[in-house]
Every structure is written in structure tokens, then in C-alpha cells.
Amino acid sequence: MGHMHGFFLLLANPTLDKKSDTHTKLIEILEKTNFVIQEFILSPLQFGVPYSRPRYFCLAKRKPSCFQNHFLNNKLLQSPIPLFGHDDTIVANEHDQSQENWDKLLQSCEPVQKFLEFENHSNQSDTESGCLDTTHVSTEAFGDLEKNDKGNELVGSSLDQYFVPLSLIERWGSAMDIVYPDSKRCCCFTKSYYRYVKGTGSLLATVQPKKKGKSSPLMEQCLRFFTPREVANLHSFPEDFHFPQQISLRQRYALLGNSLSIAVVAPLLRYLFAEPLVQQMQIFPSNDAYTNN
């Protein structure tokens, strides 16, 4: 670290509007304060994680520090290629909506099943009743688990608390994003996940129908929320990560919904702090520099 100069910045934001006054002002201030800038829009899908969460990242170094690939300064990049420095890590751009690109992107991802902490029923015939009967649970009461002294929901070990009530499926089923253990994509989880089912993240079908999707009755697919541990897994959190016991279930989802993907941020930070090859050669001169003429 002794050879590093100045300051290093990593800024993250859910979206980017290059025409916005805020973005224009940000770049203007960074340039005036002698920073070099590289911008990215990246998603965990581009790193093999079946989680669609594209985010804007701005990396900045104060001169005389510079990036390894200085020719990418002041460019908006939508590929992780520069972070690895060689072409065999090319992963398709999530924002290229062509079918060929989408297929290539998903092929590089692990299935959702590898990120689950509970095993699913393999198919509809493997279970007699299909799933937990939650018809008696009201939409208002859902998620209100046993209370602790502070009025927060206690987090139990039972999977039952994660099943979606049939009343919610009947009302909002058409708006739900349903994924399966062998799926290679799930939607972004927001801080409102578990409190609401519409537009807050994917739901997992624990009973796989003969025909996937909404053409099969959703009530027979035993939909459940991803657990906080599973959401953390999809954010690439380490296995030994855990919340303090006093953090309620809803608070855990809210915190995870506001978090960043380690699979994306880790290589960004390595790239940000990496020394350019020229500087590395100056810091670590070859043996020839010490030989006598």
C-alpha cells in the first residue's frame, strides 16, 4: 500500500441516467479534483451467479494513480472483461437482449439449486398434498411471526414461515416471478421482499410441475420466499456470515435488499487497487537492474 498515491473511490447506484444533473455533476467534480474515472454497469449474472441485479459502479483514482487499462477512462462499460485482463473470461452483456446473448449469459450461471438451504420436492407426484395449507393465513397477518420482547419477528428454523399464502397467490399470481431449482436466473430482491410479493423478487416453486410456468396452476407449485440465508448466498456472502439473533426476519430482508453482490464488488475493488503494469515493473525491478555491467 505504500506505493499507492492519493485516493480511491467506488460508488454504486441501482440505475444510471447519463443525462441527469446528478451524474453530470459527479463526473465534473471528480475531474476537477484530478480523478481518472471508469464506469461500469454489471450484474452477478455476468459472474456465473443466477441473480439479475444490474448496478452502476463508478471507479475513480486520483492522479498520479491510474488504471491498468487507461484507454477505458471516461467510458461506460457493460462487460467485466477489463476486471480480469484476458479474453477467456468474456461473459455476455446482460443489457444485450438478443436471444443468442441471453442464452450465452445463462449458460455461464450455476442453477438456483446450488444456493438453496432447503431441498425441494422433485416433482408434483412426490408429495400428496402439494404444499403447506396456508389458506387460513390472511394477507395482513402474513410475516407476523412470534414476537420477541422488542416487537420484532423471531426467525425460526421451520420452512413453513416462508410459504406464500394461497390467498396471495390467487390475488397476485399473475404478477409473480416464479423460478425453479434448475433455473439460472432470479430477479433482484428488494428491501420489501417478504412484506410484498409483487415486484420485490422471485418466488421459488418447491414442487416442480410437469409444465413450468404459469400455464400450470401456481397453487399446486407450493411457492415460497427465498430464505434470508439463500438471498445472502445469491449475493455471494461467505458461508460463515450470519445476522445477530435479535435482527428480525423483515429487517434481514430489508438489509439484504440494500446490499451489494460480493461476486461483482470484489473484482471491482481488486481492479481499482491494482497497480498498472508499468508501475509494477518500477516497484519490482528485474534482476538485471542489480547485475554489474
Q: What is the tens place of the pLDDT at every residue in 39-64? A: 999 999 999 999 999 999 999 999 98
Tell me the average pLDDT of the chain: 80
Q: Looking at residue 64, what DSSP letter applies?
A: T
| CB-count exposure of residue 207 (10 Å: 0-12, 13-18, 19+) | buried
What's the average model confidence in pLDDT over 179-188? 94
pTM (2 decimals)? 0.78
What is the percent of the chain with per-residue pLDDT over 70, rounded to a whole number? Answer: 73
Under 8 Å between Cβ of 207 and 120: yes
**What's the pLDDT at 287?**
44
Q: Could you tell me which of 240, 257, 149 has the C-alpha nearest to residue 196? A: 257
What is the band of 129 on the pLDDT scale with cuts at 50, 70, 90?
very low
Fold of 110-259: DNA Methylase; Chain A, domain 2 (3.90.120)
Q: Quick count: other Cβ atoms within 10 Å of Cβ 283?
A: 10
**What's the pLDDT at 208?**
85
What is the band of 156 on the pLDDT scale with cuts at 50, 70, 90?
low
**What's the pLDDT at 113?**
95
What is the percent of the chain with per-residue pLDDT over 90, rounded to a whole number? Answer: 54
| Boundaries of every domain in the chain | 8-109+261-290, 110-259
Whole-number Å distance between alpha carbons of 194 and 8: 36
Q: Say if residue 222's pLDDT is above 60.
A: yes
Q: Point out the least confidently predicted range of 23-37, 46-60, 140-154, 265-279.
A: 140-154
Under 8 Å between Cβ of 112 and 183: yes
Contacts of 54 (CB under 8 A, 6+ apart): 41, 42, 43, 94, 95
What is the band of 120 on the pLDDT scale with cuts at 50, 70, 90?
low
Whole-number Å distance between alpha carbons of 29 and 216: 54
**CA-CA-CA-CA torsion sign (15, 21, 22, 24):** positive
CA 94 vs CA 47, 99, 178, 228: distances in Å:
11, 11, 20, 25
What's the average model confidence in pLDDT over 18-43? 91
Q: Say if residue 149's pLDDT is above 60.
A: no
The cell for 95 is 443489457
